[in-house]
Amino acid sequence: MPIPGSPPDPVPERPVSPEEMRAWAALLETTAIVQHAADRRLRTAVGMPAAQFEILARIFEGPKEGLRMTEIADRLVVSPSGLTYQVTRLVERGLLERGTSAEDERVVLARITDAGRSVVAQGVPQYVDVVTTMLLDHLTSNDLTTLADILEGVRGQLRSAPLRPRRSGASRSTKRR
């Protein structure tokens, strides 16, 4: 609990336009709705939460040797401990195998099994259907390109600046077509 009387810890003031808040609010709400829907769909379709399915899918796409725990956690934006939990679930179901890296004994590689591949094959159409129906179908291909460009640009910046981004750089932005 923060001390109630402590100094308000000032922050670089910067007026935010309503336009900006609209954008952020819409972003949050839209992704939340679609994610929830995808989660429910996957639970009934392949009997696992979206969180687990996404892990499986990432490893499926990756190299045959498997992926490092840390890499997966970074990509999916979950804590290391949270990832351990889900991977353990998936191993219990025989969809993943744990292995240790040859070069670095500390590293755990998560490798997908045939059963795992089968689940991914079953789930992907379901997942895609939800995202397509709820989101993609409502966008023009122009919208899509714009979205992808904008967000990938931002994501790139964020990857390199985890928590407290540099104060330096000014707004670099995506060009509109």
Partner DNA sequence: CGCATGTGTTTCACATTCGAAACACCTTCG
Partner DNA sequence: CGAAGGTGTTTCGAATGTGAAACACATGCG
Residues 74 to 103: which contact its own copies by CB under 8 A?
Answer: 75, 77
SS3 label, residue 163: coil
Residue 114 touches its own copies, criterion: CB under 8 A = no
Q: Tell me, what amino acid is at 108?
A: V
Q: Least distance (Å) from DNA to the CB of residue 116?
A: 16
The item of its own copies, DNA, none sharing an interface with residue 98, based on CB under 5 to 8 Å by kind, is DNA
Q: Least distance (Å) from DNA to the CB of residue 104?
A: 5
Q: Least distance (Å) from DNA to the CB of residue 36?
A: 7
How many residues at the interface with DNA, by CB under 7 A?
29
Residue 87 touches DNA, criterion: CB under 7 A = yes
Burial (Cβ within 10 Å: 0-12, 13-18, ≥19) of residue 54: buried
Q: Which two tokens stand for residue 56?
A: 């499986």
Choose the stretch contacting its own copies; rule: CB under 8 A; options: 8-16, 62-70, 81-89, 100-108. Answer: 8-16
Please report, for residues 9, 12, 62, 72, the alpha-carbon distance to residue 83 in angstroms, rounded to integers and kept in the order given.
Answer: 33, 35, 17, 8
- Cα angle 135, 24, 13 (rounded to 5 degrees) comes to 170
Please report, for residues 24, 32, 60, 114, the alpha-carbon distance to residue 49 in angstroms, rounded to integers and kept in the order given.
Answer: 26, 15, 17, 20
Beta carbons of 53 and 76 less than 8 angstroms apart: no
Taking the least distance from each CB to its own copies, the nearer of 106 and 176 is 176
Q: Which parts of 16-45 interact with DNA (CB under 7 A)?
A: 36, 40
Residue 78 touches DNA, criterion: CB under 7 A = yes
Beta carbons of 53 and 127 less than 8 angstroms apart: yes
Q: Which parts of 113-152 interact with DNA (CB under 7 A)?
A: none
Among 34, 107, 124, 136, binds DNA (CB under 7 A): 107
Q: Least distance (Å) from DNA to the CB of residue 78?
A: 4
Q: Least distance (Å) from its own copies to the CB of residue 1?
A: 5
